[in-house]
Chain A
Amino acid sequence: MQADASHQDSPARKPSGIIRRIREFTLLGRDPVLSISLLLSGIFIFVFVIFPLFRAVAGGFISKEGAWDVTYFARYFDDYYGPSLRKAFLDTMIMGLMTATAGTLVGFIFAYAVVRCRIPGKRIVHWLALVPTVSPPFALALSMILLFGRNGLISRKILGIEFVQGMNDVYGLDGLVIVQTITFFSVSYLILKAMLERLNPAIEEAAASLGAGRFHLFRTVTIPLLIPGIAGSFLLLFVESLADLGNPLFIAGNKTVLSSQIFLAVIGEYNFQKASALSFVLIIPTLVIFLVQRYYVNRRTYISVTGKPAGSQIIEKDPIIRWVVNTLAYLIIAFILLLYATIIYGSFSSAWGVDFTPTLKHWTMTLTRGVEAILDTTFLSALATPFAAILGMIIAWLVVRKKFTGKDALDFTSNLGGAVPGTILGIGFIMAFNKPPLALAIGIYALLALFFAQIVGKNAAERIIILVLGTAAGVLLTKIDPRMMYFCLGGMFILIAILIMISQRKYAKPLVAALIGLYVMSTNWANVISKPIADFSRSLERGFWSNAIVQFSDHLKVLIQPTPALLAIALIFAGVLLLQGVRIRGIRVGVGVLGLAVPCALSFLGIPFGMVGGAYIIMAAFIVRSLPASVRSGVAALQQIDPSIEEASNILGADAQYTFRKVTLPLILPALLAGLIFSFTRHMTSLSAIIFLVSAKWRIVTASILSEWEQGGVSIAAAYSTVIIIFVMIAIALLNLIVNKLFKGRGSVDMSQGF
């Protein structure tokens, strides 16, 4: 990140600026905690956000043969493809505008009802309004079709409508906009609710005292004060709508929008250039709005409304307005409840549309054939969760507390991965990590190796020896048979453990080093460990348990066989922490060389970062998608902690590590827990970003729902959706329980941070 940012800026700056930046960079080395966090988050964001997005967007200009090619952009302007492409683009924009308008309106009704109309059952209304944010992306589309489709419960069974060719049905833009409105209005509700609460009642009272009538006041004072919120929610909803993939696939009928065009280009034609070109078209409005939202609307928001929620709220006095608003809110709530009930009912009915008698057969199918997808999804989501939450906290900490060049860039890019349409990120992941350029691996290794040598070596000579010998040894190690190599690498870490033990006579660090050694070696034993489990499962009768146990053996392998290039990054950081401050010179250089050789060998093993088809690429996509939410909850938590509190601990004799453990961590724990749950929720429900990354080995429930739907398995799709909703509900309930138990009276979690 550091080197990157200064590189970009360099032409415009004076040499003294560059020198200062270099000095700043070397100064960072003095503070290992800061430099490790910075490198870690910088590398993650570069590899998994910037690089894939660049590939996704640039790919549209490059043909299969690698030449410059703008065919797919030119098609927008020709007579053959042009009309349908332009139509799809137009439809996309209409969809976005309509969803944004309707969603903001519904959000406003809810916010007004909750804040000013004393709607009975305020808390329940509040929570129900947030439910759509945690359900799988197309659950509502599915249920709309179940209710109002051609064989829908209401449309056909109750109202008895016979759908003939050409008749307007739920499919198309109208149905899509309704579903998207319900799916996304929660965002608008949260924004407008916060704004309404923070409006200073005195302003409106002042207007009233000056003789403004109720309607006049609303039009000339209330609405203008809410404009930043309304604009912000409108823009956010527009982007969400454009990015949405699940709902258009289900309910758009014969209309196509950009996101589904991209999906079809990949899945149907396997044409990545075309998909990339379409991504470029889609990402431009998204990015423009993201920037406007970030740098214009947010700024306005701060200026016009300051301070905490005002103590007293204005209550709507006119009973007619109050009842109209409350009734509308209740009606929408009822509709939402109906949609969710339909999903659950759908999973139990024999043959939707024909025979509504309840049955368990779809659930039996889901839990036997589908257990694989359910377990894979839960396992990967859960495994990625701590990484996402911790990375989010680290970035939040850097952004709130530290001063360094490129801070704005870090803040911006950490949000970028969640802001761009998931489809584009998914394509980027495929294009970036199918055959990643060697330069990526070399660049990252070089950066990390320099950092490693800088910290471990004490002077220039030592650093050069460590760099050169370590890299040479590492490259040589890649030449031997991988099986043997893992034993060598593990052995080297055990050797490091022995050397540290000799020089320092302490046990904690050598123990960790030895355990790392064993872990590296265990890569070779993955089959030995997992095979008996798989064999055992085959001996069982085919069904839920046998499938579940097979999955368990796969999950074990994921844990002990990470992508080598990622393991290398982790080992360099581990090496820095273990090997800094070794006193005896010979041993210092020795462990330095060994400690660098291992990650070097791993960095260049096979195709570095060739992750497509594996579990790690799915987890990386999960993390990228959930990062903004966990960063946001971290930033909110840290901003409430006075930096002097950490300084107070520091000057009372506690070092950074002790301060973090005893002061910072207890204070941000609620936010960290919230970050965990939000991340998990995001992972479980994400579709667009991972749809291209699923493989025969790694199935994801959301993708399974889609394929069941395509094969006509409506009820199984409904059962899968129910499973996800239940899992997410359990996670959120768990969070509430923990927070209420642990932090009674002392700080609470603002759930709205996560959405």
Chain B
Amino acid sequence: MDYKKIDAGDVEYLISVLGSERVFTNEQINDDFSHDEMGGISRKPDVLVEVLTTEEVSKIMKYAYAHKIPVVARGSGTGLVGASVPVYGGIMINMSKMNRILEIDEENLTLTLEPGVLLMELSAFVEEHDLFYPPDPGEKSATIAGNINTNAGGMRAVKYGVTRDYVRGLEVVLPNGEILEVGGKVVKNSSGYSIKDLICGSEGTLGIVTKAILKLIPLPKKAISLLIPFPSLDMAIGTVPEIVKSKAAPTAIEFMQREVILAAEEYLGKKFPDNSSDAYLLLTFDGNIRDEIEQAYEKVADICLKEGACDVFIVDTDERKDSVWSARGAFLEAVKASTTDMDECDVVVPRNKVAEFIKFTHELQDRFQVRIRSFGHAGDGNLHVYVLKDALSEDAWKKKLSEVFEAMYSKSRELSGLVSGEHGIGFAKKAYMLEQYSHEYVELMKNIKLAFDSRNILNPGKIFQ
């Protein structure tokens, strides 16, 4: 694509808007800004800027639009598909300093905040007010705007849904620099196309979120988890449809295997409360009264024992929750630390196909002689399957990875699944998404992009490009 190269004049303009202390070039740009947590791609922006206000973002976009300079907005850079990597260079806008919580509205149950607020800050803040923001992706140091842009899911999706379900309104700077407000504090909205819902999950390609209004719900007062050991993964995952059918409504149904638990123990230097079984389900129930939660979990515990669980362990106090969930939270990092490199498949399949898909990845492990690890959200069908490089050479790894991925994505299509459950398409998963969607679907997406960004300057080279 034909973009203007950043020159001294462009940098001068940016300094005139932001001051020299918030504009970085060349060696001043930390290497961290050239990549995310995994996309398999890296490139530094030509210039990195820090913004503090919507007006600054608007001025930068107006300038970039007029001069046809590519722009990428970045939060914490915790993505996994290279969506925030500036593959065409240009300007990177670091949004993480716009991180103020602006208003908690207890009459409308909404929270208004800037894009750079971290998920962990957000949840701690609202919980102090006895309110709850349910989306709960594993990466708590992600920014809220990053979550909105990938439509992040997380563990509580089984009961509460995903990020999009909790976005009420957005302030967005469009690629041409105009500022647009979409949605609001209203609960219902049938007023034309929902632009807000298009922005959610658009991976920074349609606009830059500069403010968000989130929906909150009353904080459930108590939560109890169950850690359920099974003799085999098949048996564990095979039990999930029975749990769903019981209508006991757990907030999370996670599955994990012994080898991932052992990796987490080593990574954290801390023992998991039990590692004697091959496979585990981890369920959480929430509510306001202990007895009511106990009733719900006992029903599920009985189902699990009937289906062949070795036991059902009760995770009911802060210490116990910490011992289990701190390990669960470290799985990704632990698997990463156990190998030289890895890549991830984040497919989502119908919930009753999870067992079949996981079994298939085990076959692939043998067929391709490569280590594959998985854990994930058995309750919503979103799997995280990691292919590990270990001692393979770079070339052998690339080749093997593409074969294994091809096999997994075609299996997912066969099961009526989709390419990404919650990590997005970004740069790394474009080919697999294009294989799945029809020409019409892709054309529609392209035309939407064109309607927002006729000069294609905002995060180019992503999703379908």
The answer to whether A and B interact is: no
List residues of B whose CB falls within 8 A of some A CB.
none
List residues of A whose CB falls within 8 A of some B CB.
none
